[in-house]
Amino acid sequence: MVENKKKGNVVIVLVIFIIAIMSFITYMLNKPKSIFALSINSVYQDLLSFTKELENSKLLELAKDNTILMTSDLSFKIELPEVEGEIAEVLNLVNKIQFNMQYGEDNKNKRRIIELNSTIDTDNLFNVLFYSLDEKQYIYLKDIYDKYIQLDDVSYESIFQEKYITEIEYVLNKIKDLTIESLKDSDFTKTTAEITVDGEKINTNKVTFNLTEKRAKEIVIHVLTGIKSDEKWIDAIITIVNDSFAKTINGEELTKELLINKIEEGIEYFNDFDTTDDIIYISVYTKKWSNTPIQYEILHRDTNYLDEEVETSIKYLVYDNKEKNEVKEIIMKSDENDTKIVFQLIKEDKGKYKYKYTVDDNKLEESYIFSGEFINTKEETLYNKEFINDLFISMNINDTGKDLGTFSLDIKYTTKVGEELKTVNIGETVKYDQLTDEDLLIIYFGILDKLLSSVDYPLINLF
């Protein structure tokens, strides 16, 4: 009996302890600063997942030890209302232009072949071959110039690599973490607010970060001080800059000493910066019990504008619409210009999006709407040895109720792994900086002849 009573007491103590822990966790997570920090992480992870959706990590891995042959076809279509006569003929001709590209890469042997073709209807417009082996690079203009033009030597680098991804993620993560670390409980206020999302009124918790210029200055200095002492962050920036096309900052090659010096200059600048009473209000609206973010808002009130209070706001909403599709919406309003801009992105399926961009100018009483689709489909076949992609983008433009036309772009590309690449026999060569005036004239008139022979004579008079 005594034994059972002891066991019962232990259970009660454990239950009380668990309740206390859960209450403490709930309290901490419901603190305005915690809600705001979780929301920052949510937006950050959302952006990362969107970019990774466009990657093909399997192909990047296979390309290390296999040849890659990518074949792509590009076509576009322009549709304009109320177009007749010669303009309609030109438009019809433009819509018949197609581009084809073959990209071959042999990473082991440091060999790259790029062949570009363009046609108007069935007539060949141009054929350009780019070939590189190790550091040597050549261009060949088929049926225009009979020599291979040698370019400057460039060290070989595969395009199929996750270049700088680790470094960039670390750089951004560190800045995000240092920013969150610098926040104070006194920066925040928490209230309840009713908002309208997709026509539905929702009661939310509203957490507002009152960002004064003084606090912004302190946060920036904290971030700069943190990255200055982080060797991994410094090394990541140096790798990104020195291995990229940038190579230098303000004409100077980036070294550890130079980068730290630039950061110290930034710290000194902000230490001497005189602040005003200006405040930016950054708010997060979350569901009542789960604290799931629904809406983000940045609000700035300028009281110095012509002795009036001018309000500028940006709202970012994330919700599921009535069709259960994920919607991301950005709303920007400005009293100064009396304008409202709305961008809406609807995810209908994996890789399939609809978008709508609206600009309302109340001063000019005009409204512009850009809308369309973004579809990126992927298919893998033959045990990951072939990848088939189709990227389709369309846009319709409307000006205050008047249809201005539609533009669409379709890129189909197939990537094959282990495919044998075309053999290129380099013939007579000439260095690009040794081309004579006669050579340049041959190239110029050769390109002109290709263009003119592909266009009906009556249409030439339009240009």
Side-chain half-sphere CA neighbours of 28 within 13 A? 6
Q: Which helix (H) or strand (E) holds 14?
A: helix 2-29
CA-to-CA distance for 429 and 355, rounded, in angstroms?
A: 49
CA-to-CA distance for 39 and 290, rounded, in angstroms?
A: 12
Query: Which residue range forms the structural domain that includes residue 203?
Result: 29-55+160-417
- How much of the chain exceeds pLDDT 90, in percent? 11
Tokens at residue 181, please? Answer: 């670390």
What is the structure's pLDDT at 120? 79
Does the pLDDT value for residue 286 go beyond 90? no
- 265 within domain boundaries: yes
Q: Span 415-444, mean pLDDT? A: 87
Model confidence pTM above 0.85 = no
pLDDT tens profile 327-336: 888 888 887 7
Model confidence at 227, pLDDT cuts 50, 70, 90, reads very high
Nearest residue to 404 via CA among 369, 353, 354: 369
CA-to-CA distance for 272 and 217, rounded, in angstroms?
A: 10
Tokens at residue 306, please? Answer: 């012509």
Residue pair 339/361 in contact by the 8 Å Cβ criterion: yes
The amino acid sitting at 270 is F
Tokens at residue 311, please? Answer: 């309000």
Nearest residue to 184 via CA among 53, 352, 31, 409: 31
Q: Rounded to a whole number, what is the distance in angstroms from the first to the last CA of the chain? A: 104
Q: How many CB atoms lie within 10 A of CB 416?
A: 19
pLDDT tens profile 50-92: 666 556 667 777 777 788 888 999 888 888 887 787 778 878 8
CA-to-CA distance for 347 and 387, rounded, in angstroms?
A: 23
What is the structure's pLDDT at 70? 87
CA-to-CA distance for 211 and 193, rounded, in angstroms?
A: 20
CA-to-CA distance for 91 and 242, rounded, in angstroms?
A: 45
C-alpha distances out from residue 94 to 43, 120, 252, 445, Å? 41, 8, 45, 22
Q: Please write down the HEC assignment for all residues of 24-65.
A: HHHHHHCCHHHHHHHHHHHHHHHHHHHHHHCCCHHHHHHCCC
- 146 within domain boundaries: no
Mean confidence (pLDDT) of the chain: 80
- 130 within domain boundaries: no
Tokens at residue 367, please? Answer: 């409204």
- 287 within domain boundaries: yes
Q: Which helix (H) or strand (E) holds 235?
A: helix 231-242
What is the structure's pLDDT at 197? 85
Tokens at residue 142, please? Answer: 């088929």
Burial group, residue 317, by CB count within 10 angstroms (0-12, 13-18, 19+): buried
- 319 within domain boundaries: yes
pLDDT tens profile 302-357: 655 445 666 788 888 888 877 788 888 888 888 776 788 888 989 888 888 898 99
What is the structure's pLDDT at 351? 81
Tokens at residue 266, please? Answer: 């930034």
CA-to-CA distance for 253 and 255, rounded, in angstroms?
A: 6
CA-to-CA distance for 321 and 200, rounded, in angstroms?
A: 10
Tokens at residue 111, please? Answer: 């060999």
Tokens at residue 407, please? Answer: 């533009």
Backbone dihedral angles phi then psi of residue 388, each to the nearest 5 degrees: -115, 125
Between 390 and 461, where is the model more confident?
390
- 273 within domain boundaries: yes
- 83 within domain boundaries: no
pLDDT tens profile 399-408: 888 888 898 9
Could you tell me how far CA 229 lies from the centroid of its own chain? Answer: 29
Domain count, the chain: 1
What is the structure's pLDDT at 163? 66
- 76 within domain boundaries: no
